[in-house]
Amino acid sequence: MQFFYNFDIDTPKELLAILAQNLQKRRLEKGLSREALAELSGIPTPTIAKFEQKHTIALASYVALAKALGYSKVIKELLSEPIYHTMEEMEIINKNKNRKKGRNEIGK
């Protein structure tokens, strides 16, 4: 049995809240209202408000907002490099670099 330790204690909800807070900060730093960002991004104002307040948004909408704020490069870099925590994990990543399909190894 293989054990993977995860010391990342952020929940998905907490991460979404951070993304929403960061987007709102960047919007306000640029002096943009929600309406102005809606015009730039093509994302409706209520969708922006809902994300900032309730932290719910479709990925395509989030990407459009980030792009409108000038963060295309950052979005493209997300998940672009492998992250490993052990040498064994690094070896698995290197072995599987060119795989086109995964396999279910959960619980093995």
Catalogue all structural domains in the chain, each as residue range(s) with its CATH number. 12-77 (1.10.260.40)
**pLDDT of 6:** 57
**pLDDT of 108:** 46
Do 51 and 62 meet the contact criterion of CB atoms below 8 Å apart? Answer: yes
**pLDDT of 80:** 87
**pLDDT of 1:** 44
Judge if pTM exceeds 0.85: no
**For the chain (length 108 residues), average pLDDT per consecutive 10?**
62 96 98 98 98 98 98 95 84 83 61
**pLDDT of 7:** 62
Output 10-13 pairs: Cβ under 8 A, ≥24 positions apart: 13/55
The CA distance from 107 to 57, in Å, is 32
